[in-house]
């Protein structure tokens, strides 16, 4: 599902205009991004949680030349699905 499809689904199920639904979806996404930038954990009960994980630096290889390059440490977003979401997805199997 794309962001545009999500906006359309929100608009249909809530009797809002597409413009209003787009604002709501954007506010939600911006809030998640801002919280992650601050290092906060976001927990949506029944859905899952978002958090930042720290990856350490390492030695990598340039696939084209084969030379060794240093990859610096970085922060990466991580999503962990909640138990209810996992159960709902596996219900159809």
pLDDT in tens, 48-69: 999 999 999 999 999 999 999 9
Of 22, 19, 30, nearest to 6 (Cα)? 22
Strands (DSSP E) contained in 4-73 are 42-44, 48-55, 58-61, 68-71
Task: Give the model's pLDDT for residue 37.
Answer: 94
Task: Give the model's pLDDT for residue 70.
Answer: 95
Q: Given a cut of 80, is residue 92 above it in pLDDT? A: no
Cα 68 to chain centroid distance, Å, stands at: 31
Task: Give the model's pLDDT for residue 83.
Answer: 92
If residue 28 lies in a helix (H) or strand (E), which one and from where to where?
helix 18-37
Task: Give the model's pLDDT for residue 91.
Answer: 83
**Number of residues assigned to the chain:** 93
Cα 63 to chain centroid distance, Å, stands at: 28
Average pLDDT over every residue of 11-24: 94
Does the pTM of the predicted model rise above 0.85?
no
CATH topology of domain 3-86: HU Protein; Chain A (4.10.520)
């Amino acid at each position: 599902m794309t962001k545009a499809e999500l906006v359309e689904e929100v608009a249909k199920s809530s009797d809002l205009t597409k413009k209003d639904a787009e604002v709501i979806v954007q506010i939600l996404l911006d809030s998640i991004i801002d919280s992650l930038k601050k290092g906060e954990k976001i927990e949506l009960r029944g859905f899952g949680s978002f958090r930042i994980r720290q990856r350490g630096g390492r030695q990598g290889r340039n696939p084209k030349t084969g030379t060794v390059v240093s990859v610096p440490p970085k922060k990466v977003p991580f999503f962990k699905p909640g138990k209810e979401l996992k159960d709902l997805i596996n219900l159809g199997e």
